[in-house]
Chains A and B, each alone.
Chain A
Amino acid sequence: MSRFARFRRLVREFTGEAAWDDYLATCERDGVEPTTRRAFERHRADRIEHAPMARCC
């Protein structure tokens, strides 16, 4: 992986966008048809709905 690709990966991990990359890679590896991005992201958003996001002062 090139230095730029590593940096891009790090940024996408920070923003959470790498989850989609990982999902696509897993689907490809397992030979499974991926769901739509919208359905994937909605599922992720729904999962964090019930988790408190503590932010300090």
Chain B
Amino acid sequence: MSTRTPTAPQPTGTGGGGSRIRTVVVWSAVALVGAVCWAVLALSRGEDVSALWILFAALSSYAIAYRFYARFIARKVLEVDDTRATPAERLENGVDYEVTDRRVLFGHHFAAIAGAGPLVGPVLAAQMGYLPGTIWIIVGVILAGAVQDMVVLFLSMRRDGKSLGQMVRDEIGVVGGTAALIAVFAIMIIILAVLALVVVNALAESPWGVFSIGLTIPIALFMGFYLRYLRPGRVLETTAIGVVLLLLAIVGGGYVDQLGLGDALTLSKEHLVVALVVYGFVASILPVWMLLTPRDYLSTFMKIGVIVLLAVGLVIAAPTLQADAVTSFAVDGDGPVFAGKLFPFVFITIACGALSGFHALIASGTTPKMIAKESHVRMIGYGGMLMESFVAISALIAAVVIDQGLYYAMNAPAGATGGTPEGAAAFVSQLGFTITPGDLTAAAASIEESTLVSRTGGAPTLAFGLSQVFHQAFGGNLQAFWYHFAIMFEALFILTAVDAGTRVGRFMLQDTIGNVWTRFGDVSWRPAAWAASAVTVGAWGYFLYIGISDPLGGINQLFPLFGIANQLLAAIALTLCVTLLLKHGKLKWVWVPGIPLAWDLVVTMTASWQKVFSDNPAIGYFAQADRYRAARDAGDVLAPAADAGQMDQIIRNSTTNGVIQAVFALLVIVVVANAVVIWVRAIRAGSLPTTEVPHTPSQIVAPADFVATREEKEAVAAWEAERRELAGPQGHR
């Protein structure tokens, strides 16, 4: 430790007149590229359109939003202050609070927010055509998702890294805080169940997939023991070994039949549910070094690798869009993938990548405790979300460049296609698309799967689309490898989210019950850890089972619940943002989180209302239950139910989903209503006290953005030289 503090010379200035002209020229060019790309997408109807127009429309829009809107939010709305020490600097303890390089923290934050969500939602929303999804992902992230992530990160950072629930309780009130706490736990359960459902649907009847994904567990265990006992701390080396083993596992999956494992690994959905529930429970109670940490390393490196691969593959392949810009399903609301019209359902089907409330939990978790300078919230919060949005755009492209007959054959529920190529071809022709049973069989054979019919959930469709893109881009006879590579990384991301989420749920339960029974809150006490894990796993396992056993098709029943739940969580987060801006007396800037909040409330409440009260049985859960109940009471069996037992199952599932949906919406209404009281008080008073910690001068010097300017480099060099000078004599005592 130094005995005197460096003077912390902060970088100043942004360059002279020459650089200003260069800046204007560069940003004008970016704007022009964006405008041309958007114009092509808006005006093209009927002709071939390259997917690159979408890709570059997205990239140029992101660049402009980051450069101008995010900077405006940082400077004017949040008034980030780099002279102010962050919690990482003030409270640095090497455990929770640790000053972290901005680029490293960006990587960690991105790895924490990005998973399978941005890969799956856009694929399902592709039934509306490519344009609605494209517009929502890009506009949504710029005005809503990235704003939420950045502002929540900032607010949490100014409060020593408090969680979303704590901030709602402290800044809005006990009622809102309690409702938020229940909502967060319940919403997380649904999210985990739906993610697990995606994995089950991708792996069912796929021995290659089960082989590859199954091997990730012993690979992660091997890595855990290797890091613990053989080569402690060698993370990069261990991860490299793990990635090589993963790739071998994918390749090895192609030989399951030759190895005599084909039948043994052809698992039903029921078997996979049991396997996942057992896995989730065990992962939650095992020491983290054994399974979770190494799996997280694998997942993180795969995420970064996949993004690079996606970008390179799409640019090289430059595939042509096969879907219509806007389909009839968007207007009529009768699509086979999920029911409902473009508004509100495209906006809740695509959550991650545009606006994801779950991110608010990450942005108020570890990240705010590791930020070096306040200005980094722009790069990490806003920039990290833009990166996730890019993943979502890539996934959308993968779904709309495949043959659309195949898309609907894969994503229509088995009740509609009968699960056979002939049934699927007939069903797809009713939708106005053409594909023969032979084409479907050939498509499945090209990726060495037994069938692609009704492989719902989005993951198989994305994997097929990516395999086609990578095959076009990189050549070779590797389409089956690429398909299983894509399934592998989707499943890896999901399993990482499921095991980490189960553990978070366990901690939340232990913490909550620990308020009334102190011993239960001790995370080292095994009975409590096991009981809380069992409750968490049991809850998401129940919904997972509903999903796989629902005769109506689990994904089209549960995915809307997942999307609405995630965006209701966003409504809670944005409500907090509005509340705190008002309490800080920033009424004139309240529109920044206020507009996305208003939009999000309109979307989620409309969707919730329709899912609960719509008299259309395809949309309303209770109308659906009533329809099947009336038929059952009349002694009839309605398709796709095959018997009275399945009729009862549909009634039970639809009623449960309807109740859960209504409860979620009510919880959010309670939070917002509680907040409105505070808003009125704050506006009347001009401002109100908050729990923001007081200003403490910062001693750290660091660049503000991804690339350091010359002035910043000079300031950092001067500061480091001064630190060395101060530390030097002491070090030689």
**Residues of chain A at the chain B interface (Cβ within 8 Å):** 10-17, 19-20, 28-31, 37-38, 40-42, 45, 47-57
Does A14 lie within 8 Å of B227, measured CB to CB?
A: no
B292: chain A residues at CB < 8 Å are 53
Residue from the list B103, B228, B234, B362 in contact with A45, Cβ < 8 A:
B228
Does A47 lie within 8 Å of B497, measured CB to CB?
A: no
B359 at the interface (CB under 8 A from A): yes
Extra inter-chain contacts (16) besides given A53-B293, A56-B356, A56-B359, CB under 8 Å:
A12-B236, A15-B236, A16-B235, A17-B233, A37-B232, A37-B233, A45-B289, A47-B95, A52-B507, A53-B288, A53-B500, A55-B296, A56-B112, A56-B361, A56-B362, A57-B566
Does A48 lie within 8 Å of B104, measured CB to CB?
A: no
A19: chain B residues at CB < 8 Å are 94
Does A56 lie within 8 Å of B115, measured CB to CB?
A: yes
B503: chain A residues at CB < 8 Å are 52-53
Give the CA-CA distance A20 to B94 in the complex, in Å. Answer: 12
Give the CA-CA distance A41 to B733 in the complex, in Å. Answer: 28
Does B352 lie within 8 Å of A48, measured CB to CB?
A: no
Does A50 lie within 8 Å of B523, measured CB to CB?
A: yes
Does B504 lie within 8 Å of A54, measured CB to CB?
A: yes
Task: Name the distance in Å between A53's Cβ and chain B's nearest Cβ.
Answer: 5
A20: chain B residues at CB < 8 Å are 233
B15 at the interface (CB under 8 A from A): no
Does A30 lie within 8 Å of B497, measured CB to CB?
A: no
B114: chain A residues at CB < 8 Å are 56
Does B115 lie within 8 Å of A54, measured CB to CB?
A: no
B358 at the interface (CB under 8 A from A): yes
B34 at the interface (CB under 8 A from A): no
Task: Name the distance in Å between B348's Cβ and chain A's nearest Cβ.
Answer: 14
B117: chain A residues at CB < 8 Å are 56-57
Give the CA-CA distance A48 to B687 in the complex, in Å. Answer: 39
Nearest A residue to B118 via CB reads A57
Known contacts A56-B112, A57-B195; is A50 also within 8 Å of B524 by CB?
Answer: yes
Residue pairs across A and B with Cβ atoms less than 8 A apart, 27 shown, are: A10-B101, A10-B104, A12-B236, A13-B104, A14-B108, A15-B239, A20-B233, A37-B232, A38-B232, A41-B227, A41-B228, A45-B228, A48-B288, A48-B293, A52-B500, A52-B504, A53-B503, A55-B112, A55-B296, A55-B299, A55-B496, A56-B112, A56-B352, A56-B362, A57-B115, A57-B191, A57-B352
A17: chain B residues at CB < 8 Å are 233-236
Nearest B residue to A50 via CB reads B523
Task: Name the distance in Å between A20's Cβ and chain B's nearest Cβ.
Answer: 5
B705 at the interface (CB under 8 A from A): no
Residue from the list B104, B113, B356, B504 in contact with A14, Cβ < 8 A:
B104
Does B235 lie within 8 Å of A15, measured CB to CB?
A: yes
Residue from the list A14, A41, A51 in contact with B107, Cβ < 8 A:
A14
Does A41 lie within 8 Å of B100, measured CB to CB?
A: no
Does A42 lie within 8 Å of B731, measured CB to CB?
A: no
Give the CA-CA distance A50 to B289 in the complex, in Å. Answer: 11
Instruction: Fill in one digit per residue for B336-368: 1 if any A CB lies within 8 Å of its CB, else 0.
Output: 000000000000000010001011011001100
B115: chain A residues at CB < 8 Å are 55-57
Give the CA-CA distance A16 to B501 in the complex, in Å. Answer: 22
B362: chain A residues at CB < 8 Å are 54, 56
Task: Name the distance in Å between B199's Cβ and chain A's nearest Cβ.
Answer: 12
Nearest A residue to B96 via CB reads A51
Task: Name the distance in Å between B230's Cβ and chain A's nearest Cβ.
Answer: 10
Give the CA-CA distance A41 to B103 in the complex, in Å. Answer: 23
B475 at the interface (CB under 8 A from A): no
B361: chain A residues at CB < 8 Å are 54, 56
Give the CA-CA distance A9 to B496 in the complex, in Å. Answer: 27
Q: Which of B239, B297, B501 has the most CB of A within 10 A?
A: B501
Give the CA-CA distance A20 to B227 in the complex, in Å. Answer: 14
A45: chain B residues at CB < 8 Å are 228, 287-289, 293
A38: chain B residues at CB < 8 Å are 229, 232
Task: Name the distance in Å between B555's Cβ and chain A's nearest Cβ.
Answer: 14
B128 at the interface (CB under 8 A from A): no
Give the CA-CA distance A48 to B290 in the complex, in Å. Answer: 12
Residue from the list B101, B116, B235, B296 in contact with A53, Cβ < 8 A:
B296
Give the CA-CA distance A10 to B107 in the complex, in Å. Answer: 11
Give the CA-CA distance A41 to B232 in the complex, in Å. Answer: 6
Known contacts A14-B107, A51-B96; is A56 also within 8 Å of B358 by CB?
Answer: yes
B727 at the interface (CB under 8 A from A): yes
Nearest B residue to A51 via CB reads B96
- The 10 A-B residue pairs with the shortest CB-CB distance in the complex, in nearest-first order: A57-B117, A29-B731, A15-B235, A41-B232, A55-B500, A41-B233, A52-B504, A45-B289, A52-B507, A38-B232
Known contacts A10-B104, A48-B288; is A54 also within 8 Å of B232 by CB?
Answer: no
Instruction: Fill in one digit per residue for B504-518: 1 if any A CB lies within 8 Å of its CB, else 0.
Output: 100100000000000
Give the CA-CA distance A14 to B594 in the complex, in Å. Answer: 35
Nearest B residue to A25 via CB reads B731
Residue from the list A40, A49, A54 in contact with B500, Cβ < 8 A:
A54
Known contacts A10-B104, A13-B104, A29-B731; is A56 also within 8 Å of B497 by CB?
Answer: yes
Nearest B residue to A53 via CB reads B500
Does B233 lie within 8 Å of A55, measured CB to CB?
A: no
A57: chain B residues at CB < 8 Å are 115-117, 191, 195, 352, 356, 358, 497, 566
